[in-house]
Amino acid sequence: MPIWFELMILLLITYGVGIGIGWLLWGRGIVDDEGFEA
Amino acid sequence: MTIRPFLISIAGALLVAMIAFIGGTYSGGPMAAQMDRVAQAVVAKSGGAPIKARFTTRGGWPTRHPLLSGGEDVDEATRAKVAEAVASIPGVGGVSWADGSMVAESNVVPLTPMHCQEDVEALLQARTVRFEESSSAIDASSQELLDEVAAALRPCLGSIIAITGHTDSSGPEPGNLALSQLRALAVERALIDRGIPNDGLRARGMGSRVQVEGLLPTDPANRRIEFSVIATVPLAPTPVDTPGPR
């Protein structure tokens, strides 16, 4: 397995975990302002 | 939820992948070269001089999983030592051999097939288990022969041994059948008394149905007891033999 491929898998997993944690902490309570029309 | 956050996440993933590719390609070469230098020194130190470690994949990309080749004339112990030494270099992943496998020498004695059936047949070739006239009582002169038969069958413990009684064709067949069955059971009893386990023995009588080739049906030589190994039970490893998790 090439080194760049291993690095890519590692970074994508880290990215996915970060996105998941971010969503859990902040993403769930956000009000969708773009759908609200005055 | 709009589609925008989803697209942003995908874009982010692609960016991460691109960074990984560029970074991996940029740093992978020097990393593999460094590991290669260390591996060469380690291989020489382990006494596996003809062995080469290649830190590139088939496509030419640098990898941290070396492929070892050469050293076909080197003994297995040295090959194992070299592989272990290369695997212990910091940063090196899985080590594999170009010939696809590592032939290991085992200290296990090679298994030889059991010859108990042939041994018993050899014993019975010149001698036979004798019974009293029209009876299933084993003659005293056959006790020693039964000792030898039991000793010959002992290596087959764990297999199923068939004891088959035969008679000649004199007399009514139902009587012959019953007598041959009783005689087979008598021999089975005698072997159990000599330490052969009961569950490995199967006694049956064939009467005069199966005659010895080349003999007349009335020939007394047809009165015989035959032994055969009809099933071999493979040995299963005991819990002590099974290696535990590493």
Nearest residue on chain A to B1, alpha-carbon basis: A32
Which residues of chain A does B13 touch, with a Cβ-Cβ cutoff of 8 Å?
12, 15-16
Q: Does the predicted model carry a pTM greater than 0.95?
A: no
Cα torsion B42, B43, B48, B50: sign: negative
Query: Could you count the other beta carbons within 10 Å of the beta carbon of residue B215?
Result: 12
**Which residues 129-168 of B have a C-beta within 8 angstroms of A?**
none
Provide ipTM, 2 decimals.
0.76
What is the Cα–Cα distance from B150 to B191, expressed in whole angstroms?
A: 6
* Residue B113: its H or E element: none
User: Across the interface, which of B5, B16, B32 has its CB nearest the CB of A3?
Assistant: B32
Residue B229 per-residue DSSP state: E
Name the percent of chain B lying above pLDDT 90: 30
Mean pLDDT of chain B: 83
8 Å CB contact of B12 and A11: no
User: Across the interface, which of B2, B31, B59 has its CB nearest the CB of A3?
Assistant: B31
Q: Does B48 touch chain A (CB under 8 A)?
A: no
Collapsing DSSP to helix, strand or coil, A34 comes out as helix
Average pLDDT (B31-37) is: 94
Question: How many H helices and E strands in chain A?
Answer: 1, 0
Stronger pLDDT, B243 or B48, i.e. the higher one: B48
Which residues of chain B does A13 touch, with a Cβ-Cβ cutoff of 8 Å?
none
CB B17 within 8 A of CB A8: yes
DSSP B38-49: HHHHHHHHTT-T
Collapsing DSSP to helix, strand or coil, B238 comes out as coil
Using pLDDT thresholds of 50, 70 and 90, give the confidence band for residue B40. very high
At B61 the pLDDT is 92
Which residues of chain B does A34 touch, with a Cβ-Cβ cutoff of 8 Å?
2
Q: Does A1 touch chain B (CB under 8 A)?
A: yes
Q: Does B61 touch chain A (CB under 8 A)?
A: yes
Which residues of chain B does A2 touch, with a Cβ-Cβ cutoff of 8 Å?
24, 28, 57, 59, 61-63
At B156 the pLDDT is 75
- Per-residue pLDDT tens over the stretch A1-38: 899 999 999 999 999 999 999 989 988 766 555 554 54
Nearest residue on chain B to A27, alpha-carbon basis: B5
Nearest Cα neighbor of B147 from B195, B180, B114, B183 is: B195
